[in-house]
Amino acid sequence: MAMSGWLATVSLAMLSSPSLAAPPLEQATETAIRGALEAPSILNAFDFTGRPQFDVSRDGKWVVYAMERAEIASNTIRVSLWIAHVGSREPPRELLEVRRASTTLAVNPTFSPDASQIAITGYGTRGALAIVDVNRRSIRELPVDFSKLDASINPAMWMDVQWSPVRDELAVALREQRLPPPQGPVSVSVDWDGELRGDQHSRIAIVDATSGTALAVTPADMAVEGFGQALDWSPRGDAFAFSARAASLLPAEGDNSDIYIFDRTRNTTRRIVERPGRDGSPRWSPDGRFVAFITAGEKQTWRMPARLALFEVSSGNIRALMTADDPWFSPYAPSWSGDDVMFVGMKSMGCALFAVSSTGSPRSRQLTPDDLSCHGTAVSRRDGKVYVVRESVASRGDLIVSSPRRWQPSSLSSLPNDPVLAATRLSVVAWPSADQKFSIHGVLIEPTAPHAGRRPLLVVLTGGPSMVTPSVYNPNGIHQIGPALLRGYAVLIPNTRGRGGYGLEFAQAITREKSLFEAPFSDVMSGVDHVVNALGIADPGRLMLAGFSYGGGLSYFTAGHTDRFRAIMANEGAADLIARAALVAGNPRAMDHMRSIFGVADTFDPADRDVLAAQSPLANVSKVRTPLLIECGADSLAGSECLKFFRGVKQTGTPTELVVYPRTGHVLAEPSLRNDSAHKQVAWLDRWDE
């Protein structure tokens, strides 16, 4: 869309600012923002269940990866495939562009057995299934013909694709919209969410890679789980494993999914893991004897700690691969390396690669430093090498390869570092919580350039509540910290209780204490005091605060409980906890999920309601005296949570602005809108730091 078009839309939605666009900034800041937003990076998968956006040929000689590069002027994100020769000094080369749109979409590249072709999803503007000829550097869309199947399938999205290791066939996970019946009522359960919009039904089809003919499909009465790597072929290519739940037009009762095996020879499906709770992310061992998977341990909800388990194909036995007291309680994206099952786990404000033996002690061991991308999971091949994405303060993702036994990674993608973020010092600092229950940690980033006297301090509160990782403060971050660093700011990102990386007790503190915001707020302010008083780095009169999602709600709460900050920027924060709890009132499954995060969820229970009322940022909105910039997506919290808090602050006379971004959900994605947001945030800092 043209620049004038989206600005006009935004101006209609901005409730308090007469300006059409953020003011221009000095050249160094303009360059820093543009450089951060337009920097190339390995395309991230959608979430922790997604697979990495790269693949390694079966002989371990070639790697293909999807790289994205945003273009602010055209408001598009260009996605290209790149290929690198492992072990060679030749630089990686670009194959071709496969997608250009205003938002990203996983393309899931997968090599054919001889590495001459690559199958992808997400091709072109329609996100189609396509085949790339590596030698010719050409691409063809692969329309899938379902006419030979006794099934009515109309794909709404291609979710994942995996090439058979032995045949010219693809296993393709697809999502289709199943609409409610055209006539007659629908009997609902207590778990109904109030809408008859149909089910996002997902299935897996076997497709001929040459003709596009669909040869088989998983049963219609099960919905495949997992948005990224939804399946895994057996080494012999005679079957694939996947996770699924019972299909329904309405939300399923309970939080259950089981593990299945689809027999390609007979085109039949059998369930191999059937028990309460969620079981997912199945991965076949190289010898075909086992299927490793992540399990909730027969609990009805996917609560921490999730664990690894092992299914033995010959006997049908299931056994745990991790002990109950293993501190790395959140494994995801398992992968095999010989007899070891590797997984990515959160530790100490970073993500590391761990391994656990399938034949020895069920105790994990750490293989790498905690500097990996939490979305860049590992792939191993017959040569024993491990391929994974690494993040840093200056880089949003670099594809690396190493032996897991002797970690000496080398880069395969060689992406440039952000020059502003590269000129910084990063350290992990720690301070005692005010209640003396925990040692709280945080990332402190300082410019290396000299600065006279104490520095201004920008405190950044990440979402989740999830652990602080490099993606919060490198060029991927929602809040761009480069401009603040150029202005001499130090940046503190605290890892408040309730987040990962420091054990189960720390991660579950919010739930146990029923303190969604109050105790974490105390953790933040103790960290500010530590940087101001103990370290002597920050100027107590020049403190700024920014927060996204959970961090946005915590920013609202902070605004109503202290006036120590000169200005606050809150993005997509929850303000009215009672209203949010009322949305799930009486729905056991949804309430249980909310209770697993908040500690309370029942608005019909006076005790729960009192806690929700006291913790709600709206309870103290009349006390807000700090200038507040609120940014929200029009398709997310703008018209509810953000608008409520904005109106409450306006009543106090405190300077506040609400900026609503069109075509935007919970995360701001379009390059031109991200650019506008970065400008507004910097202008807000400058306005109140005079």
- pLDDT class of 423 with cuts at 50, 70, 90: very high
Q: What is the pLDDT of residue 284?
A: 94
For residue 45, pLDDT over 50 is answered with no
Instruction: List Cβ neighbours of 512 (8 Å cut-off, separation of 6 or more).
Output: 599
Return the higher-pLDDT residue of 24 and 594: 594
Calculate mean pLDDT across residues 516-529.
97
Crossing angle of helices 550-559 and 518-529, in 10° steps, is: 80
For residue 553, pLDDT over 50 is answered with yes
For residue 552, pLDDT over 60 is answered with yes
Q: What is the pLDDT of residue 471?
A: 83
- pLDDT class of 304 with cuts at 50, 70, 90: low
Enter the tokens of residue 101.
Answer: 């749109």
CA-closest candidate to residue 106, choices 161, 55, 176, 43: 43
Tokens 């350290």, residue located: 427
Q: Is 652 helix (H, G, I), strand (E, B) or coil?
A: helix
Q: What is the pLDDT of residue 248?
A: 64
* DSSP 8-class letter at 328: -
**Distance between CA atoms of 232 and 212, rounded to whole angstroms?**
20
SS3 content of the chain, % helix, strand, coil (to 5): 20, 35, 45
Contact assessment for residue 526 and residue 441, using Cβ atoms and an 8 Å cutoff: no
Return the higher-pLDDT residue of 376 and 547: 547
Contact assessment for residue 364 and residue 443, using Cβ atoms and an 8 Å cutoff: no
For residue 273, pLDDT over 90 is answered with yes
In 613-672, where do the E strands start and end? 628-633, 656-661
Neighbours of 578 (CB within 10 A): 16
Calculate mean pLDDT across residues 558-584.
94
Backbone dihedral angles phi then psi of residue 522, each to the nearest 5 degrees:
-60, -40
Name which of 52-66, 116-130, 590-604 the model is least confident about: 590-604
pLDDT in tens, 362-399: 788 888 887 777 766 677 776 778 888 888 888 888 88
Tokens 């669909």, residue located: 214
**Distance between CA atoms of 635 and 616, rounded to whole angstroms?**
22
Q: What is the pLDDT of residue 89?
A: 85
Q: What is the pLDDT of residue 334?
A: 84
Q: Residues 141-169, buried b or exposed e (16+ Cβ, 10 A)?
A: ebebebeeeeeeeebebbbbbbbbeebeb
**Distance between CA atoms of 533 and 555, rounded to whole angstroms?**
22
For residue 12, pLDDT over 80 is answered with no
Q: Is 157 helix (H, G, I), strand (E, B) or coil?
A: strand
Return the higher-pLDDT residue of 127 and 207: 207
pLDDT in tens, 336-350: 988 899 888 888 888
Calculate mean pLDDT across residues 195-211.
82
* DSSP 8-class letter at 557: H
Backbone dihedral angles phi then psi of residue 175, each to the nearest 5 degrees:
-115, 130
Enter the tokens of residue 70.
Answer: 């945003």
Q: What is the pLDDT of residue 2?
A: 31
- pLDDT class of 14 with cuts at 50, 70, 90: very low
Return the higher-pLDDT residue of 72 and 580: 72
Backbone dihedral angles phi then psi of residue 510, each to the nearest 5 degrees:
-60, -45
Contact assessment for residue 262 and residue 172, using Cβ atoms and an 8 Å cutoff: no
Most confidently predicted of 189-198, 388-397, 582-591, 612-621: 612-621
Contact assessment for residue 254 and residue 241, using Cβ atoms and an 8 Å cutoff: no
**Distance between CA atoms of 539 and 533, rounded to whole angstroms?**
9
Q: Classify the C-alpha dihedral 247-249-253-254 as positive or negative.
A: positive
Domain layout of the chain by residue ranges? 40-142, 144-179+195-248, 423-494+511-576+621-688
Q: What DSSP line would sit under 356-424, residue for residue?
A: EESSS-S--EE-S-S-B-TT---EE-TT--EEEEE--SS-S-EEEEE-SSS---EESS-PPPPHHHHSE
Contact assessment for residue 301 and residue 596, using Cβ atoms and an 8 Å cutoff: yes
pLDDT in tens, 232-267: 999 999 999 999 988 764 544 456 889 999 999 999
Q: Classify the C-alpha dihedral 479-482-483-488 as positive or negative.
A: positive
Cα→Cα distances 686→33, 419, 487, 555, 565, Å:
15, 22, 9, 19, 14
CATH of 423-494+511-576+621-688, one of 2.60.40.680, 3.40.50.1820, 3.40.50.720, 2.60.40.10: 3.40.50.1820
For residue 575, pLDDT over 90 is answered with yes
Enter the tokens of residue 187.
Answer: 């009997």
**Distance between CA atoms of 558 and 345, rounded to whole angstroms?**
30
Calculate mean pLDDT across residues 563-587.
92
For residue 134, give the H/E element and its range. none
Calculate mean pLDDT across residues 205-222.
94
pLDDT in tens, 176-202: 766 655 566 767 767 666 766 655 678
pTM: 0.91
Name which of 150-159, 472-481, 678-687 the model is least confident about: 150-159
Q: What is the pLDDT of residue 183?
A: 62
* DSSP 8-class letter at 534: I
Q: What is the pLDDT of residue 87?
A: 83
Q: What is the pLDDT of residue 181?
A: 57
Enter the tokens of residue 353.
Answer: 């690669």
Instruction: List Cβ neighbours of 328 (8 Å cut-off, separation of 6 or more).
Output: 345, 346, 347, 354, 364, 366
**Distance between CA atoms of 117 and 557, rounded to whole angstroms?**
53
Return the higher-pLDDT residue of 683 and 360: 683
